Structure 1
Amino acid sequence: MENKNLQIATFGGGCFWCTEAVFQELKGVEKVVSGYSGGNAPGHPTYREICSGLTGHAEVVQITFDADIISYEDILIIFMTTHNPTTLNKQGADIGTQYRSVIYYHDENQKEIAEKVVEKVAEYYDDPIVTEISPLKTFYKAEDYHQNYYRNNKEQGYCSFVIMPKLSKLRKLYGDRLK
C-alpha cells in the first residue's frame, strides 16, 4: 500500500464549480468536494438556502491532497492567483456573501501559512486583498449535482464562459503542476 501524506484544505473563491475544476487538475490533489461553510443557519443548508444569502455560508471546496506532492502553501498560492481576492463578496457576475473569498484553516499551522501567502501575493494586486481567513467550524457537502460539475457539464454556457478562462489561466501559470 502506498503511503501518502494526506491533508485537507478548505476555501472559497466564488462559485465552487470554478474552484473545483481548477483543483481537480493539479498533481497531488486526491479529491475535491464542493460544499458550504461559514454560515450560522442550523442544520445542513441547501443550495437554494445558500443562494438566498441569508444563511451566511460561502460556497467552498474541500481538497484532499498529498502534501509530499503539493504543499498547502502551493495550493493557497494557486488559489489566490486563479480567482480575484480583491473583490468583496463578488467573483465576476456572481455577487453575494456566498461568493466571498475565504480560507478556512484546519489548524494554527494552516492559519500561519494562509496569513503569509496572503501577504506574499498582495504585492501582485493593485487593490487590497479582502480574503477572509477563519477557522473551519463545519463543512457541509453540497448536493450531488454540484459535484464534478465542470467535468459533467462542459457544454454548459457557464462552463465555457466562466470556468474555461480560469482553467486557461491555471494551465498558463501552473502547467508544470498539472496531472
Structure 2
Amino acid sequence: MINVGFGGSCHWCTEAIFQSLVGVTEVLQGWIDGSEAVIVIFDENVISLATLIEIHLATHSCTSEHSLRGKYRSAVYTNELGDTAQRIINGLQRDYKQPIITQVLPLGEFRLNNPQYLNYYYRDPQKPFCENIVKPKLNFLLERFGKYTRMGVQK
C-alpha cells in the first residue's frame, strides 16, 4: 500500500471523491501543514498514482489562484514519490489551457479531523452541503472517471 496526500478543495469533497475510487483502501481527512487535505492509502496494483493525480486535478480548481488558497492549498503531498508526481502533473498540463498551480510538497504534519466530520458525505449524503456541493463533484467523477469508481449513479 502507498499513501499520498491531496489538497485543493474542501476536505469533505476531497474525502468523498477518493473514498469513491476502487483501489483506495483508506482516506484520512484533516489538515496537512495547516491546509485542508486528505491522505489516501491505495493499492497501486488496482489504481495508479497517475490516475489519482489526474482525478485530483480534474475535481478541484487546479489552475485557479484565489483568496482561500492558504486554507485550500492545491497540492500533492508525498515523501517518496515527489519527482514522479511532478512528472505526472507536467504531463497533464496539456489538458489545461491555464497553468496548473498544484504544487508537489513534502508530506508534512497531518492532523486528523474531529470524528463527527469524518466520512462526512457517506455518513449523511442528504445534508444540504452534501447535496449542493459534494454530490455534483461525485456526479462529475462518475461521468468522467466512472471506470475507476465503486459508486452507483448519484441522481
- Give 1:24's match in structure 2, choosing from 19, 28, 34: 19
Report the Cα distance in structure 1 between the residues aligned to 2:42 and 2:147, rounded to whole angstroms. Answer: 17
- Offset of 1:96 from its aligned partner? 4.4
- Offset of 1:106 from its aligned partner? 2.1
After TM superposition, what 4+ stretches of structure 1 lie above 2 angstroms from structure 2? none
Aligned residue runs from structure 1 range 127-142, under 5 A: 127-142=98-113
- Give 1:120's match in structure 2, choosing from 59, 81, 91: 91
- Offset of 1:76 from its aligned partner? 1.0
Report the Cα distance in structure 1 between the residues aligned to 2:140 and 2:40, rounded to whole angstroms. Answer: 20
Report the Cα distance in structure 2 between the residues aligned to 1:113 and 1:101, rounded to whole angstroms. Answer: 17
Is 2:7 the partner of 1:12? yes
Q: Tell whether the 8 Å contact from 1:37 to 1:138 is kept in structure 2 after alignment.
A: yes
Report the Cα distance in structure 1 between the residues aligned to 2:83 and 2:127, rounded to whole angstroms. Answer: 39
Aligned residue runs from structure 1 range 141-156, under 5 A: 141-156=112-127
Over residues 90-148 of structure 1, what are the superposed CA-to-partner deviations in whole Å (9 max), with x where a residue is unaligned?
A: 6xxxx3411121111121xx111211121122222222111121111211111112210
Q: Tell whether the 8 Å contact from 2:4 to 2:107 is kept in structure 1 after alignment.
A: no
- Offset of 1:88 from its aligned partner? 2.1
- Give 1:100's match in structure 2, choosing from 73, 79, 103: 73
Is 2:31 the partner of 1:36? yes
Q: Tell whether the 8 Å contact from 1:89 to 1:100 is kept in structure 2 after alignment.
A: no
- Offset of 1:153 from its aligned partner? 2.6
Unaligned runs of at least 5 residues, structure 2 = 151-155
Is 2:60 the partner of 1:83? yes
Q: What is the identity, as a one-letter code, of the residue corresponding to 2:122?
A: R
CA RMSD of aligned residues (A): 1.4
**Relative to 1, partners in 2 of residues 1:10 and 1:86: Cα closer, same or farther, differing over 3 Å?**
same
- Offset of 1:24 from its aligned partner? 0.7
Q: Tell whether the 8 Å contact from 1:88 to 1:100 is kept in structure 2 after alignment.
A: no
Q: Look up the match of 1:158.
A: 129
Q: What is the identity, as a one-letter code, of the residue corresponding to 2:37?
A: V
Q: Look up the match of 1:50.
A: none
Larger Rg: 1
**Relative to 1, partners in 2 of residues 1:115 and 1:85: Cα closer, same or farther, differing over 3 Å?**
same
Moved more, 154-163 or 10-19: 154-163
Unaligned runs of at least 5 residues, structure 1 = 1-5, 39-56
TM-score, length-scaled by structure 1: 0.79
Over residues 29-52 of structure 1, what are the superposed CA-to-partner deviations in whole Å (9 max), with x where a residue is unaligned?
A: 1111101112xxxxxxxxxxxxxx
Percent identity over the alignment is 31
